[in-house]
Amino acid sequence: MKVRIVVTLKPGVLDPQGKAIHKSLEGLGFGGINDVRAGKVIELDVADGTSDDDLDGMCRKLIANTVIENYRIER
């Protein structure tokens, strides 16, 4: 079973990587960009019986830093 976990910075947390991408895109001539946020995506191939609780545990214990990051589990 393929599961995708998307980890993004919480609103209000500074995102220097996103800012750098934003400035670079403008420097390349792409206009009309209001905001850029950078995050991570982790694609897991797990056993079919893996529960939501297990996936949640993986995120909380390792994949996401819940102080500054949100995560979303997409099956």
Using CB under 8 A as the binding rule, whether residue 38 contacts a second copy is answered as: yes
**Residue of 10, 13, 52, 54 interacting with a second copy (CB under 8 A):** 54
**Paired tokens of 44:** 């897991």
Shortest distance in whole angstroms from residue 11 CB to a second copy: 11
User: How many residues does this entry show for the chain?
Assistant: 75
Residue 72 has phi, psi (to 5 degrees) of -135, 130
Using CB under 8 A as the binding rule, whether residue 39 contacts a second copy is answered as: yes
**Touching a second copy, residues 18-37 (CB under 8 A):** 18, 21, 24-25, 28, 30-37
Residue 50 has phi, psi (to 5 degrees) of -65, 125
